[in-house]
Structures are given as C-alpha cells and as structure tokens.
Amino acid sequence: MIKKLLNFFKEYDSKDDKEPRSKKLFGLAALYSTPNEIITAAAKTAEKGYEKFDVYTPYPMHGMDDAMGMDSPKVGYVSFAFGLLGMCLALLMIGWMSGINYTNIIGGKPFFSLPPSIPITFEGTVLLTGIATVIGLIVLFNRMPDINSPLNDTDFMRSVTSDKFGLVIKADDQKFIDADIREFFRSGGAVDIQEIYYRETNLGIKTPLFDKKFLGIVMATAAVTAVVSYITLNIVLYQVVPFDWMWNQARINSQSRSDFFPNKAGMREPVSGTVARGFLPYEYKGMPDSSVKLLSNPLAVSKKVMERGQERFNIYCSPCHGYFGEGDGRMRDQFPKPPSLHNQKVLNWTDGNIFHVITNGQNVMPSYAEQVPVDDRWAIIHYIRSLQRSKNAADEDLTKAK
C-alpha cells in the first residue's frame, strides 16, 4: 500500500521529465557550489548588464537583492493602496449603516461619528492591507504559482532545492550570446552548465489559465459549492434541528403506557424495601401503641420549637381536634368527633404514643406522616403538652409564672 503510494508519487514527480522538450531555448543555467560564488556571480551578471536573469538558492540569502541590483520592493505601494481602500470601505460601511440605513438614537449621540468607528475602520484597514500584501507578494511580484515554468522538474531545480546555488540567464535577454555566457559562468567557478528548453506541450503559453480542463474544474467546483450551500443554508438548516438525537430518542414519558412490561405501566415502582435518601422508615409502623413507649422527644423545648408546633398544630390538627385540642374542630358533624387530647389516657401517654398516632394513624384518624415531617411532629407534641399543662395548671405553676 505504502509502496504503491510512493511509486505513484515517484512516477508523478518524473512525469514532466518525460515530456518532450522543444528546440526553443529558455535559458542557460549554471550551478555553483558555495554561497560566495553565487553572490559574486549574481553581482557580476548584473554588472555586465544582463536584465533577464534569476537566482535560485536552497535558502534565503542576505545581500542577494543588492547583489542582483534589484530595486527596492514595490509591494509596499500595493499594501498602502489596499490599506487606504480598506479604511474607506469600513468608514463607508459604518456611515451608511448607522448614519443612513438604520439610524438609532442612543443617548442622544450623533448617528455617525468618528471615535466609535475607529476599531472597525482599523480592522478593515489591517484586513485589506494583510491580504493585499500576501497576494501581491506571491502572485503579483513573484508570479507564483508558476506551474508552467520550463525549470520545473529539471535536474537544475532538484540541485538548487537541495545543495547547489543556481543562476539562469534567459534566452530572451538582449545581451544573450551563448558562448559569452558559458565563458562567464566557467570563469566564476560554475560546476555545471545546462541548457533549459521549453516543453513542447506548453510552448508559448505562460500560464494555462484557459485550459479547458482547468476551466471545467473551476466551473464544476463553483456550481457544486453554490448548490450545496444553497440547500444547506436555505433548506437543511431549517428542517433539521442540530444535535437532536438526545431529544428524539426512544423513551417512555412519565405516566405513559408501555407494552414492554407485563402490567403495561411505563413507570416502574421502586423495588420493595427501597429507602429514599434522607428518609428513615418508621420502625413501629402498624404496631400496637404499647410498643412505642421507648420513643422519646428528641427536640429540646424552645420558643422557636413551640411556635413551630403551634403553627403546625393549627394547620394540620385543629380542623378536627380544635385549637385547644378539645375535640371541637371545624370539621364538627362532618367527621367523627375525636376525643379530647386532655383526657386521662393522653395525659398519661408518653410522647412516643402521640408520635405513633400522628405517624401511624389510629382507627378513623388517618396517618399524617406524609404531611408532617418528623421534626414537626415532635414540635406539635411539645405544643400539645403545653396545651395539656395549661388546662391542668397546679397552684405552684401560678407562682412559677410570676
């Protein structure tokens, strides 16, 4: 597999080598083996008045521009022009948007003014400058990508991209005389001199821009891109909610039917004996009240507990038992009348007994375990005790109260 791939690239690489070369000379190329030789050769070439020549080195070489007698680079003008254009476009855009098309009164400020527009103007300037510099440098000044250069895929190119330094004087230079140049190359220490001929297939064509195949691919790509983006942006995105596979998954909503379970109920009951977190099951559930004598009130009496007990008693117990536990609540004649909580039986009971009645219920009185949490039950019991005490006050209580 890897071998096949390598072979493919090798063959692809040498494809242009096999293309027949014409008789038309592109230029004479010389290879030097040291950087000093190439710099000297470049300087001498410029000195001799050759204009159409170029230097190829495996790495950038300082001083080469000067040696070749090149003018200062022109790309700065392109950058400046496009930077100016970017600035104007940004200002125009903001001016039109906030000054004309969509005027908004914000704190009485002018629709368009310079200070708030600076950031976007700066961005626009920098954006166009950057793009223009890169494109100008590569495409405009270095004429890249030059896929059609006769130098491509020659031994000369292979040498200068690894360890040699090359110089090419083109055949269309006005001073081009074959013998002179060979002599000049040799005197400078050139290790190899090669003639580079144009390829037969692309003779005369600078860049195969209007190649049918190339145009076809560009047009096909444009068409496919347009259609796909149109469908994606206008149809697919409106019909498909992204990432909805968790939303639209096979599941049973609460309270709904399921054919999976024998009883057809979608909701499952907890395994019997399951204890909810933070909940202690009542250990005397369903037992006779004689068994709960040991339960004692864990809450210390305090004003807060008393007030809580009173409040809860008035809410949950008073409807039947009355505000003072005398069995004369508002449910009179609608529900069996409960006995007074001041009878001898309840007076003699432990707190555990009352707790048992609230938690477990007693005869017609239902359990209040669901409505009244454990601590509130004990608070209610404190309150019942105080009610009982108030109805059975002894003489010494009077002195205590003083």
CA distance 29 to 184: 12
Measured at the alpha carbon of residue 306, what is the angle toward residues 305 and 309, in degrees to the nearest 5?
85
In whole angstroms, how close is the CB of 346 to ligand HEC at the nearest point? 5
**DSSP state letter for 278:** T
Q: Which is nearer to ligand HEC, 7 or 314 (CB)?
A: 314
Q: Which is nearer to ligand HEC, 103 or 291 (CB)?
A: 291
Please give the C-alpha separations between residue 292 and each of 288, 309, 313, 357, in angstroms, as whole numbers.
8, 21, 22, 10
In whole angstroms, how close is the CB of 313 to ligand HEC at the nearest point? 6
Q: Which is nearer to ligand HEC, 35 or 319 (CB)?
A: 319
Q: Which is nearer to ligand HEC, 86 or 309 (CB)?
A: 309
- 197 in helix, strand or coil? strand
* Chain centroid, CA 131 distance in Å: 27
**Amino acid identity of 330?**
R
CA distance 220 to 79: 33
CA distance 378 to 249: 47
In whole angstroms, how close is the CB of 398 to ligand HEC at the nearest point? 27
Judged by the rule CB under 6 A, the positions of this chain that interact with ligand HEC are 316-317, 319-321, 331, 335-336, 338-339, 341, 343, 345-346, 354, 357-358, 362-365, 368, 372, 380
Tokens in use for 144?
């890249």
In whole angstroms, how close is the CB of 237 to ligand HEC at the nearest point? 60
In whole angstroms, how close is the CB of 249 to ligand HEC at the nearest point? 45
* Preceding omega of 116 cis (within 30 degrees of 0): no
Q: Which is nearer to ligand HEC, 83 or 322 (CB)?
A: 322
Classify the C-alpha dihedral 337-342-347-352 as positive or negative: positive
In whole angstroms, how close is the CB of 367 to ligand HEC at the nearest point? 10
Q: Which is nearer to ligand HEC, 197 or 383 (CB)?
A: 383
